[in-house]
Amino acid sequence: MSSRPEFLAPPEIFYDDSEARKYTSSSRIVEIQARLSERALELLALPEDDVPRFLLDIGCGSGLSGETISENGHQWIGLDISASMLNVAVEREVEGDLLLGDMGQGLGIRPGVIDGAISISAVQWLCNADKSSHEPRLRLKAFFGSLYRCLSRGARAVFQVYPESIAQRELILRHALQAGFGGGLVVDYPHSTKKRKEFLVLTCGSVPTSINDGHKESGSDDDDDDSEDEENGMVCVSDRNRPRKKQRTNKKGKGREWVLRKKEQSRRKGNDVPADSKYTARKRKSRF
């Protein structure tokens, strides 16, 4: 793993002209950000009435996430602390309005006017103290407080984040809840270290019973370790990778060990399972 950019320099320094250009010309990054933004929009759960909504893109960068908003027919305001990233957004003629600003200073937006907010790969930056005057807790508080106020009641905010640690994820979540938000974590691809993606889904105003958008596991073999219930929030593990993961077995099939384990599991549940023998998990001849 390359080291995390937020440890290298403050965002407005790290995302300078050359990094902003590099970031936006990488087809891999463009594709990943588009996919994350698409998923975040889905989790925003806007009414399906074909009426465009007025959204915020926090840490909008060069406009990759905003473009997904436009493609879905909505209007947006993008906020970013890096002038270089915003310049690239201008060059790319994004449709949203851009603001140079620091989310840690709070959003200067009137109460109740925004229909929803997304933030893709940006909020983890807030947990750093880049200047001696920076106190991450105060900055998180200012940010979530102002975000809560500017959203209309019932609106959602969806953050895709790369928390550096469990403590950091908790810090972010705690400040969101303290600001008045309800909601919790949605995890896509929980079993893949590479593809695992976390979304903080927050609801403003109405009390959510649960945020249940993650695609639930349905099989019985999910007694692994994905129940990381946070104290306050709701954790929802979604199962987007399950089918692919099942296919990712060697050509010889899943192997004898796997079959034996599954049979044992099933036996423990009280099912009627054939006894193990030397034929167990053997491949049949192609002409059986």
Partner 1 sequence: MRLITHNMLSCNIKGVTNGFPLKIEAEKVIEKEVDFNPDFLKHMFAKIEWKALVEAARAMGYGELPEDSPDVAVIESADETFLKKLHHALLEIHLEEGALVCPETGRKFPVNKGIPNMLLHEDEV
**Which positions lie near partner 1, rule CB under 8 A?**
50-54, 75, 77, 81, 83, 86-87, 90, 97-102, 105-110, 112-114, 131, 133, 142, 146, 150, 152
Enumerate residues 228-247 that contact ligand SAM by CB under 6 A. none
- The residue within the footprint of ligand SAM, chosen from 33, 146, 203, 238 (CB under 6 A), is 33
In angstroms, the CA 255 to CA 249 distance is: 9
Torsional class of 253: left (φ above 0), alpha (ψ -120 to 50), beta (otherwise):
left
Please, are residues 205 and 162 in contact by the beta-carbon 8 Å criterion?
no
How many angstroms separate the Cα of 74 from the Cα of each of 61, 69, 99, 152? 18, 6, 18, 16
Please, are residues 96 and 60 in contact by the beta-carbon 8 Å criterion?
yes
Q: How far is the CB of 164 from ligand SAM (least distance, A)?
A: 14
Enumerate residues 65-84 that contact ligand SAM by CB under 6 A. 65, 79-82
- Which residue(s) pair with 187 in the sheet? 198, 237
- The residue within the footprint of ligand SAM, chosen from 96, 104, 183, 233 (CB under 6 A), is 104
Position of minimal CB gap to ligand SAM: 61
Report the residue number, 12 or 276, with the smaller CB distance to ligand SAM: 12
Q: How far is the CB of 49 from partner 1 (least distance, A)?
A: 8
What is the token pair recorded at 165?
């640690």
- 163 is a site residue for ligand SAM (CB under 6 A): no
Amino acid identity of residue 257, one-letter, is E
- The residue within the footprint of ligand SAM, chosen from 40, 41, 44, 61 (CB under 6 A), is 61
In angstroms, the CA 246 to CA 29 distance is: 27
- 85 is a site residue for ligand SAM (CB under 6 A): yes
What is the token pair recorded at 265?
């599991």
- Which residue(s) pair with 134 in the sheet? none
- The residue within the footprint of ligand SAM, chosen from 41, 44, 64, 187 (CB under 6 A), is 64
- 125 is a site residue for ligand SAM (CB under 6 A): yes
